[in-house]
Amino acid sequence: MAMTSGSPAMFGTAGPAAHQIAVLGWVLTIISLAVLLVVSLILLVALFRQRAARAEQPESVVIRPNGSIRLIVWGGIVVPAIILICALLFTLFVQSAVATPPAAPVATIRIVGHRWWWQVIYTARSPDQQVVTANEIHVPVGQPVRLELVSADVVHSFWVPKLAGKTDVIPGQQNTMWMQADKPGIYWGECAEYCGLQHAHMDLLVVAESPADFRHWLDQQRQPPPPPADPITATGERVFTRLACAACHTVGGTPAMGQIGPDLTHLASRRTIAAGTLPNTPGNLAGWIANAQGIKPGNDMPTMSLPPGDLQALVAWLETLK
Amino acid sequence: MAIATAPTAPVGKLAKTWETAPGLYGVLATVDHKTIGKRYIVTALVFFLAGGIEAAFMRTQLIHSNVHLLDAEEYNQIFTMHGVTMLFLFASPILSGFSNYLWPLMIGARDMALPRVNALSYWTFLLSGVFIYTSFLIGQAPDGGWFAYVPMTGRTYSPGLNIDFYALGLIFITISTTVGAVNFVVTFFRMRAPGMSLNRVPIIMWGTLSASVAIIFALPALSAACVMLYFDRRFGMHFFDAAEGGHPLLWQHLFWMFGHPWVYIIVLPAIGLASDMIPTFSRRPLAGYTFVALSTVTTAILGFGVWVHHMFATGLPMLATTFFSAASMMIAIPSGVSIFAWIATIWHGRPVFRTPFLFLIGFIVLFVIGGVSGVMTAAVPFDWQLTDNYFVVAHLHYVLIGINVFPVFAALYYWLPKMTGRMLSERYGRWVFWLMFLGANLAFFPMHISGMLGMPRRIYTYQAGLGWDTVNLITSIGAYVFALGVLLFLVDFFRSLSVGPEAGDNPWDAPTLEWSVSSPPPPYNFAVIPTVRSRHPLWEGRLDEEYHTLIGSGPVLDHGRETFGTSALDSDPFEILQMPEDSLWPLILAAMMTVTFYGLLFGVWWLAILGLVLVILSLAGWCWPRPARDEEMDLLPEEG
């Protein structure tokens, strides 16, 4: 998808946690390939070292058992034990290294897993400083953030491969993790634990930007969107607040206070809709409203049949929610 | 009850005594371990094909981004049923089939210890499989993954019958597996021929014994979890409901307390099969017999101490994960011991490259790959990246195809001639092997890469531009190649039944007792009970052994269905067991269980209670005293 910086490959790391894990991963991969190579070579030699003898003797000949114990003890016990103990020690070292962030986290972000989208809440001491958004997490480059992971329904798992390992999102408990991006960019994230029908469409983006840009973004998210400036967008707002939309969605500065679906206060500033399913373009947005069940069957957004004029006005207004 | 020692055994009388009755009654009532074993194998292979068709659907859906052959619900049902089928209806039953067929023949007995229980085990396996598959008929197959994590599978988020089929179906099949396991344990310790002391049994015996003991301890966790799930769903209980003081992680712990031992349950008997075939093709006895036997037992025990490695990302304390990480790495050592025992056997042997041996070589290679990738996922921080992505799919398929399917196909090529009397084709066999070996690697090696590229498991489609298209294309092609190999095997099998060369008693010049009888074996297995003196009775002469196993002379035991009961360690005979006749009760009992489970499934309580009453009545009928066997036998005319 063009909106991220390429494939979410776990070895193309962009953060310290993922980086240290990748080092461990490479070491284990190399050990594994070496073991595979050596064992395969021994097996090949074992298979073909007796070629000459085989040609001479009939198949009925049976060979008396002889000294094989040394090969079993060294190959099967001593050498593997040494390799495994070293691997275990290195694993423990990495595990304790990534347990805590390199510095104190600069923000605490509460992430609520829903079927099938991510609610993102930037916590603050006073409720009016709190920012609620969805499916897109902005973080400052080079600074760790703390994530609190809770679920609204079933078990999910939060995973941004380039930044950190995954942590499950489990109802009835709060898991925490930390995350840091060292390079500006947009990183692909996803739900990794099977969570039902649309598990495949539960993605998110992590947008890493300079600390200044991040604070600017946060400030902007705290402001309510501008009121409608023309008749079309005014119609759009009216459609939104009077129809079913407002029952599920919140838009700051309007009477829409629904809590079921994503907060749309700054919908237009987001890069995707429907949890990474589609790029956020006016056409996709209109298509989504008119046919949410066709695009992502089973999700909670009903398919809305609006008169074409209303749909157009609604999309026009939603596009102003920067 | 005299023990006749006759050089010419009364085979006619024995055959009459042990033969299954002709006609439909015999088909339904047989307790012959050979018939039951073959039924197990055929039924499991049918389920293998069903699981394979499901896999083909999945791989076609994922061959490229945004393919919509299946919709989300269909895909989720199919991937769930693929896992349930392969793990419960193929991998374990096929091994039960081989063990059922082979054990008595390998240990010089005339049947398993509990023949009617054996029949019950098969019928419940068949009917539980049918029970689970009937879910497709109403379009509500299980769709929660084979692991069925709550609360997704609770009533709130899964109101249909899908998960009820799953929970009840698994309880049903644990009945089959458990009674089968009990039968294996009793047979192991009581039915071995005189002289077959513990250190002389074929390794498959150790494999299936270890697996059976593990089953007896591991399956209660699954049954309990499934009962809780059913109660939560049907009666609104709160075992897994966080809002009411339950916890979703309870399910995960119970499931994996069963789930990880289960992995060893479905590989240890296969490892045993391999350990018994490799010596034949290496032309020497197994190197390090004691090492392999002990590592089999050790693996089964350690297998109970690693379940948390499925849960490293659930937020458990670091100390706990560290312990399970260490245990999960160390469990590689017994596997290493077995691998080097096979290599040592080949090294100091003189390998003969026949089809079964090709599969065994493939097995060793795939085992090593699945083993090292297992160690990688045992490293907690790296597992935080790997778990629930395609790397794990690659790993588990290397393990299950490598350590279950490949030994099973080796065993099919090796022992089918014993069962049918016909050899399979070497030429076809080589094609089958290379298609399956290359197909498996082409399908599953790239999955390591797709996992590392961030592709999560259990997604029914994916977007373009994530870098996943090429690896998935290769994987799908590999899957088709693998499927072609399996289809070619079927062709070879059906061909062999009519045109395969006669197998003879011992086509591989193998060392163990089952090759001393005809192919297929007579109903009574052994005309006289052998007295065993070594691990390789048929090679003793060529190995200059001091003592020789007695085959063809010894006790006959022809006063009804008789076989020896022997002591647990040294296998000294101390009683003559009267084995049961054919019986319809196992089938009736299994059928009544089916009625009960359908009653529970649809919430038709009168039907469930009726079924339960009929189950109890069937048990009573089963146990009802019958006239003593000796009197019956006296009525039979003596054979010439």
Q: How many CB pairs under 8 A join A and B?
A: 286
User: What three-state secondary structure class fits B502?
Assistant: strand
Inform me whether the C-beta atom of residue A198 falls under 8 Å from chain B C-beta atoms.
yes
A10/B454 Cβ within 8 A:
yes
A18/B462 Cβ within 8 A:
no
pLDDT at B628: 59
pLDDT below 70 — which residues of chain B?
1-8, 627-640
Q: Which residue has the tokens 């002379």?
A: B553
Which whole number is the average pLDDT over A40-51?
Answer: 92
The terminus-to-terminus CA distance of chain B in angstroms comes to 19
pLDDT at B543: 86
Residue of B385, B391, B468, B545 for testing the chain A interface, max A β-carbons within 10 Å: B385
- What are the two backbone dihedrals, phi and then psi, of residue B502, each rounded to the nearest 5 degrees? -60, 135
* R_g of chain B computed on alpha carbons: 25
pLDDT at B1: 40
The minimum CA-CA distance between A283 and chain B, rounded to whole Å, is: 18
pTM of the model: 0.96
Residue of B384, B445, B543 for testing the chain A interface, max A β-carbons within 10 Å: B384
Confidence label for A127 from pLDDT (cuts 50, 70 and 90): confident
The minimum CA-CA distance between A57 and chain B, rounded to whole Å, is: 9
Residues 6+ apart with CB under 8 A from B235: none
> Which pLDDT tens digit goes with each residue over B429-441?
999 999 999 999 9
Give the single-character DSSP code of B318: H
Inform me whether the C-beta atom of residue A86 falls under 8 Å from chain B C-beta atoms.
no
Which of A2, A46, A173 faces B343 most closely, judged by CB atoms? A46
pLDDT at B629: 53
Provide the ipTM. Answer: 0.96
Per CB-CB distance under 8 Å, the chain A contacts of B387 are 166, 192
A9/B149 Cβ within 8 A:
no
pLDDT at A2: 44
- What are the two backbone dihedrals, phi and then psi, of residue A137, each rounded to the nearest 5 degrees? -115, 120
pLDDT at B640: 34
Q: Are B172 and B127 in contact (CB under 8 A)?
A: yes
- What are the two backbone dihedrals, phi and then psi, of residue A109, each rounded to the nearest 5 degrees? -115, 125
DSSP strand pairing (A175-179 vs A145-151): antiparallel
- What are the two backbone dihedrals, phi and then psi, of residue B389, each rounded to the nearest 5 degrees? -120, 180
pLDDT at B635: 42
A60/B330 Cβ within 8 A:
no
B344/A157 Cβ within 8 A:
no
User: CA-to-CA distance for A222 and A269, rounded, in angstroms?
Assistant: 13
Residues within 8 A of B (CB atoms), A 212-271 only: none
The alpha carbon of B607 is separated from its chain's Cα centroid by a whole number of angstroms, namely: 32
Which whole number is the average pLDDT over A197-210?
Answer: 97
Inform me whether the C-beta atom of residue A166 falls under 8 Å from chain B C-beta atoms.
yes
> Which pLDDT tens digit goes with each residue over B149-189?
999 999 999 999 999 999 999 999 999 999 999 999 999 99
* Secondary structure, 3-state, chain A: CCCCCCCCCCCCCCCHHHHHHHHHHHHHHHHHHHHHHHHHHHHHHHHHCCHHHHHHCCCCCCCCCCCCHHHHHHHHHHHHHHHHHHHHHHHHHHHHHCCCCCCCCCEEEEEEEECCEEEEEECCCCHHHCEEEECEEEEECCCCEEEEEEECCCCEEEECCCCCCCEEECCCCCEEEEECCCCCEEEEEEECCCCCCCHHHCEEEEEEECHHHHHHHHHHHHCCCCCCCCHHHHHHHHHHHHCCHHHHCECCCCCCECCCCCCCCCHHHCCEECCCCEECCHHHHHHHHHHHHHHCCCCCCCCCCCCHHHHHHHHHHHCCCC
B453/A166 Cβ within 8 A:
no
Confidence label for A5 from pLDDT (cuts 50, 70 and 90): low
Q: Are B77 and B500 in contact (CB under 8 A)?
A: no
User: CA-to-CA distance for B188 and B192, rounded, in angstroms?
Assistant: 7
Residue of B346, B395, B450 for testing the chain A interface, max A β-carbons within 10 Å: B346
Per CB-CB distance under 8 Å, the chain B contacts of A68 are 287-288, 341, 344-345, 347-348
User: CA-to-CA distance for B97 and B269, rounded, in angstroms?
Assistant: 11
Residue of B71, B352, B459 for testing the chain A interface, max A β-carbons within 10 Å: B459
For A54-58, A261-265, B490-494, B571-575, which range has the lowest pLDDT when averaged over its residues? A54-58
DSSP strand pairing (A185-191 vs A203-209): antiparallel
